[in-house]
Structure 1
Amino acid sequence: MKLYELKAIAKRLNNFTFISRARRIEDNTLEIMFDKSESYFFNLTRGHSFIYKAPSQRPLQGYNAPFDTLLHSLMSGGKLISVEVPNDDRILRFTIAPKSSYKDKIIYLQLEFTGKNTNAILIDDNEVIIEALRHIDADSSFRVIRPGMELLAIPPFERNEEKQDIGDVDRYLEEKFTQIEAKKLLEMKKQKLSTVAKKVKKFEQLLNKLPNEEKLLQTALEHKNYGNLILANLYQIKPYDTKLKTFDFEGNEVSIALPKDVKVNRMSDYYFNLSKRAKSKAKNVHIEQENLSSKKAFYENIYYALEQANTPYELELLVPKRAKSLRKKEKLREGELFWIEGYKVLVGRNSNENQKLLEIAKANDLWMHIRNVPSSHVIIKTDKQNLPDSVIQAAAKLCVDFSVKNPGDYEVDYTKRKFVKVQEGSNVFYNKYDTIRVTKEGVEIRI
């Protein structure tokens, strides 16, 4: 951030009288809403910090660290006394009178746009740190940033920046948001498309490696015949023999490799077991094929949805940044795991996983499915809480994006799990349901 930008922004923010809401919406981004209508965003990424203005955004996940709790309780609903740029440094300092205070009390929110030490710090009126976005220890900096420590001033630094008039501050910050959003969308889309394409390729390779059913049955018959021939010629096999040369039951000469470290009287069992395994694989290979094909189709639908996504929020919802670690933490074996505004959302990738999700869902969890269309089952873990409409809307969109490629209007039914009756496999009957309409965008394909 440039000093002239911060001064212009501070001057603009001083026109507001109170703070409606203060919260974290991404790992390094704070949203502060002023006077119930105007939201400004402060991205505090180290070495790449910036401020922009945009409509209020839903958080990608719930943030419940001590800093987040205190940021909300001390600032939301508080009176804004002033916004300053102290000592002409790259710092924005908000002076606030908290709503929750029973007597006159002042706290400060100091946003430091200082390269690698960029931070957000809550301070009391004695300059003692209440909490911070990032804690910094003595081995990293002379300024220790920890609750209960006095906040030391940043050493003065003479800056030689050209002063510029940015004119309409709101328009300037809105244009910055448009530029940043377009660049972020492009980078995120490229990265997430690459991730999903690798998954599609993986399932395609697994499908190509599946054995042929006819060949497996042929192998099973061949091994069964070998077992019978060994039994018929058991008397002439010596313990040190490696091959049995004989004639099959049609009179054709055959040579059978004899297994090592197997007693002569057990050699026929060895081939009979191989025959059973090949026969079993032949019987179940179509099940594995259906399983892999459905998962491949699932990720192809995600790929298509990513191509159509218009915001970083949609991209992050479709392919979460920490999906793998979250899945491991939750010890999830079936389905895909997502987090929407702090609520856990499970999505089945095929009929088998839909069935498993129905089994593990609790009575008050929310279940959803596209009406009259074979689709993924979606389970929202509620912990008996009332779900916000925004969570239901986002989960319904996931249900459509993961289930169908064709654009159009789809009706997604949803109800509590206790009202869903399993009939056979993942086929269900349900009542007492609500319906939400989801429009899937797409591009017309001309032939």
Structure 2
Amino acid sequence: MKLYELKAIAKRLNDFSFISRARRIEDNTLELVFDKSESYFFNMTRGHSFVYKAPSQRPAQSYHAPFDTLLHTLMSASRLIAVEVPNEDRILRFTLAPKSSYKDKIVYLQLEFTGKNTNAILLDENEVIIEALRHIDAQSSFRVIRPGVELLAIPPVERQEESREIADIDTCLEEKFRQIQAKKLLELKKQKRAHIAKKIHKLDQSLAKLPNEEELTEQAKEYSSYGNLILANLYQLKPYDTTLKTYDFEGNEVTIKLPKNIKLNRMSDYFFSLAKRTKNKARNIHIEKENLQSKKTFYENIYYALEQAKDPYELELLVPKRGKSQRKKEKLKEGELFWIEDYKVLVGRNSSENQKLLSLAKANDLWMHIRDIPSSHVIIRTDKQSLPDSVIKAAAKLCVDFSIKNPGDYQVDYTKRKFVKIQEGSNVLYTKYDTITVTKEGVEIRV
């Protein structure tokens, strides 16, 4: 951040009377809402800090560290006394009177845009650190940043920076947001498309490796023939034999490789068992192929939805980051697992997974499905709580994005699981439902 930019920002923020909300929306980004209407964002990334102005944003995840708790407690609904750039340094310092205080009290929020030591620090009126975004110990810097420690001043540094007036700082900060959003969107899309493309590639490989039904049927006949030949020649087999050379029932010479660690009197059973398993696999290979193909279609729909996404929040919904530590242990054998505002959302990728999710769902979980169209079933774990409308809308959009490529308006019905009656397979009848319309944008795909 340039010093003249920080001065222009401080001058603009002094126009406001109070801070209505303060929170972290990303790992290194704070949102401050002034006078209930204007949101400013402070990205405190080391070596790449900046400020931008945008409409209030929904956090991609919830933050509950001590810094976040105190930031909310001390700053939300606090009276704004002053915003300064002290000592002509790259620092924004907010002087505040917290609403939560039972007597007159002053706290400071100091945002330091100082390269590798960039930080956000909460201070009391005696310049003692209450909490900070980043803690710094004595081994890393002479300025120890820890709760209960008095904050030392930054040594003065002479800088040769251009100085100019900014007529409309809000316009500059809004343009900064548009540039950041466009760049972030491109980077995220590239990253998440690559992740989904790998899954599609693996499914393509699995499909290519699948044997066809005719090959498996012939192999089953061969195994059965081996079993019969071993039975017919059992009298001449020795325990140490590794192969059996004989003639089949048509008079053709045959060499059968004998399995290790199988007793002679169990050799024929071994091949008969192989024949039975191979025959069953031949009979059911089309099911495995359909299962893999439906999963591939599911991920192709996600890939298309990623291409059409308009903001990073939508991308994170479609392909979330690796979960929190307590979520990493959660694995779903059937379907895909998502989190929307800390609510667990399960999505079936095909008919068999839809059936499984229906059987796993609890009576008060929310179930949703696109009306009159074969689609993924979505289950939202409610734990008997009322779901926010934002969660229902986001889950309904996932249901459409994961099921359909073509744009249009789609009706998504949803109800409690206890009002869903399974008919056959994943076909259901349901009552006492509500409907939400989801508009899928994009270019129509014609096959």
Instruction: Give the equivalent residue in structure 1 for 2:120.
Output: 120
In the alignment, does 2:113 pair up with 1:146? no
Offset of residue 99 of structure 1: 1.4
Superposed counterparts of 1:3-402, under 5 Å? 3-322=3-322, 328-402=328-402
User: In the aligned structure 1, how far is the partner of 2:404 from the partner of 2:95?
Assistant: 51
Determine if contact 2:47/2:116 at 8 Å carries over to the other structure: yes
Offset of residue 95 of structure 1: 1.2
Offset of residue 351 of structure 1: 2.0
Q: Which moved more, 1:383-392 or 1:48-57?
A: 383-392
* Structure 2 unpaired stretches of 5+: none
Determine if contact 1:323/1:338 at 8 Å carries over to the other structure: no
Q: Which amino acid aligns with 1:153?
A: A
Offset of residue 244 of structure 1: 2.7
What SS does the aligned partner of 1:141 have?
coil
Q: Which moved more, 1:33-42 or 1:101-110?
A: 101-110
User: In the aligned structure 2, how far is the partner of 1:24 from the partner of 1:312?
Assistant: 16
Determine if contact 2:17/2:79 at 8 Å carries over to the other structure: yes
Q: Which amino acid aligns with 2:236?
A: Q
Q: Which moved more, 1:13-22 or 1:263-272?
A: 263-272
Q: Which moved more, 1:308-317 or 1:271-280?
A: 271-280
Offset of residue 245 of structure 1: 3.0
What SS does the aligned partner of 1:437 have?
strand
The CA deviation string for residues 39-72 of structure 1, in whole angstroms up to 9 with x for no partner, is 1111111111111001111111122222222211
Determine if contact 1:338/1:344 at 8 Å carries over to the other structure: yes
User: In the aligned structure 2, how far is the partner of 1:403 from the partner of 1:57?
Assistant: 27
Instruction: Give the equivalent residue in structure 1 for 2:414.
Output: 414
Q: Which amino acid aligns with 1:426?
A: S
Q: Which moved more, 1:34-43 or 1:109-118?
A: 109-118
Offset of residue 13 of structure 1: 0.3
Instruction: Give the equivalent residue in structure 2 for 1:425.
Output: 425
The CA deviation string for residues 359-409 of structure 1, in whole angstroms up to 9 with x for no partner, is 333333222111111111222223333222222111111111111111110
Offset of residue 327 of structure 1: 5.6
Q: Which amino acid aligns with 1:355?
A: Q
Offset of residue 196 of structure 1: 1.0
Structure 1's 84 and 342: CA in aligned 2 closer, same or farther, altered over 3 A?
Answer: farther
Offset of residue 339 of structure 1: 2.2
* Structure 1 unpaired stretches of 5+: none
Structure 1's 64 and 385: CA in aligned 2 closer, same or farther, altered over 3 A?
Answer: farther
User: In the aligned structure 2, how far is the partner of 1:144 from the partner of 1:336?
Assistant: 45
Q: Which amino acid aligns with 1:152?
A: L
Q: Which moved more, 1:48-57 or 1:141-150?
A: 141-150
Q: Which amino acid aligns with 2:103?
A: K
The CA deviation string for residues 261-282 of structure 1, in whole angstroms up to 9 with x for no partner, is 4333222122112212212322
Q: Which moved more, 1:151-160 or 1:437-446?
A: 437-446
Q: Which amino acid aligns with 1:43?
A: N
Determine if contact 2:406/2:445 at 8 Å carries over to the other structure: no
Q: Which moved more, 1:364-373 or 1:202-211?
A: 364-373
Q: TM-score, normalised by structure 1?
A: 0.95
Determine if contact 1:67/1:132 at 8 Å carries over to the other structure: yes
The CA deviation string for residues 272-321 of structure 1, in whole angstroms up to 9 with x for no partner, is 12212212322332222122111111110011001111112211221112
User: In the aligned structure 2, how far is the partner of 1:421 from the partner of 1:383?
Assistant: 21
Structure 1's 105 and 376: CA in aligned 2 closer, same or farther, altered over 3 A?
Answer: same
Taking only aligned residues, the RMSD between alpha carbons, in angstroms, comes to 1.9
What SS does the aligned partner of 2:266 have?
helix
Determine if contact 1:323/1:337 at 8 Å carries over to the other structure: no
Determine if contact 1:17/1:79 at 8 Å carries over to the other structure: yes
Offset of residue 201 of structure 1: 0.7
Structure 1's 181 and 93: CA in aligned 2 closer, same or farther, altered over 3 A?
Answer: same
Q: Which amino acid aligns with 2:223?
A: H
Determine if contact 1:58/1:341 at 8 Å carries over to the other structure: no
Q: Which moved more, 1:84-93 or 1:300-309?
A: 84-93
What SS does the aligned partner of 1:330 have?
coil
What SS does the aligned partner of 2:120 have?
strand
Structure 1's 446 and 282: CA in aligned 2 closer, same or farther, altered over 3 A?
Answer: closer
Offset of residue 178 of structure 1: 0.9
Determine if contact 1:40/1:54 at 8 Å carries over to the other structure: yes
Offset of residue 166 of structure 1: 2.2
Q: TM-score, normalised by structure 2?
A: 0.95
Offset of residue 323 of structure 1: 5.1
User: In the aligned structure 2, how far is the partner of 1:161 from the partner of 1:92?
Assistant: 17
